[in-house]
Amino acid sequence: MRRESDVEFNGLFKASPNKHRLRRILTSTFALIVAGYVLFPPLAPLKKANLVGYSICHQIPGRSFHLAGHQLPLCARCTGTYLGVAIGFATIALLRRGRAGEMLSTGMILVMVSFIGIMVVDGLNSYLSLYGNMPHLYVPQNWLRAATGSLNGIALAMIAFPVFSYTLWKRPQPVSPLKNVWELLGMVTVDAVAVAVVQSEPDWLLYPLALLSSGGVLWMLTVVNTMILLILFGQDSRAQTWRDAAPYLLSGLTATLLELSAVSIIRYALTGTMGWSLAI
């Protein structure tokens, strides 16, 4: 609990004209960086999504889904992971727990850890299968990669979100993202249907899935970077409205874009390949 003197000091500091000016400058700078990233070639949405995928995913064709003659920006496992992230955050929003600041119950945490463990087992089995002489449990399949990846994504969203809320908001909701097994089963059912649809590789899903999965990458990394920056600069637990939160989220998004750009540059410098053209 904050001391009364700390609250008074922070209130005075927040009201400082110089701080308001600095905040506007920083917000404008972050917005310009984000706008520059959006407007910098390639401009085509699918190629922009490919660029996001290039920074975090191996993009091996044989381990990726192909829709309408195009390989998705992320491999099957990463596609599943960030689809799961999107489903997790959508569930929180639908349950009206957008500021949930309490951790999951012990039982729910164990379920989430098991989701991550399932993905690790499948990932290790898939990795071993790359080498013909290495023993592995079963023949890897893209639908399994997507399914186990999506469970991992759900776990990441559910574990990270209350920490994010507690770090961002001055008054987070005293509730956890998931309350009972029925909410969990409902979310997992939606996830299973989504993976089944993706596995069928319908052409019409190309753009929605490409943008949703790459957007999931940006959002998850923005959440993590926002938390890190808030704690690093002593600005945690201060936002009361979305207007207050906007500069913090913009700073997290800016850090994410800079990180992804740096990784892409390093990867290209080391490999000299990209697999697709950067042209508009």
Q: Specify if 21 maps to a domain.
A: no
Mean per-residue pLDDT over the chain, rounded: 87
**Which pLDDT value is given to residue 199?**
93
Whether residue 184 is contained in a domain is answered as: yes
Q: Which residue from 181, 193, 160, 182 is spatially nearest to 85, judged by alpha carbons?
A: 160
In this predicted model, what pLDDT tens digit does every residue of 154-168 receive, in sequence order?
Answer: 999 999 999 999 999
Q: Could you tell me if residue 222 is inside a domain? A: yes
- Give the range among 14-23, 44-53, 176-185 with minimum mean pLDDT: 14-23
Residue 15 lies in a domain: no
pLDDT at residue number 278: 53
Residue 18: pLDDT band by 50, 70, 90 thresholds?
low
Band (276; pLDDT cuts 50, 70, 90): low
For 37, 99, 158, 167, the CA distances from 251, given in Å and listed in that order, are 14, 19, 23, 14
Q: C-alpha angle with apex 243: 242 to 245, nearest 5 degrees?
A: 60
Structural domain including 156 reads: 45-271
What's the pLDDT band for 66 if we cut at 50, 70, 90? very high
pLDDT(190) > 60: yes
Alpha-carbon torsion 13, 98, 214, 80, what sign? positive
- Residue 8: pLDDT band (50, 70, 90) is very low
| Predicted local distance difference test score (pLDDT) of residue 236 | 92
How many domains is the chain partitioned into structurally?
1
Q: Looking only at Cα atoms, what is the longest distance across the chain?
A: 68
Q: Does residue 22 lie within any of the structural domains? A: no
Give residue-wise pLDDT tens across range 249-265. 999 999 999 999 999 99
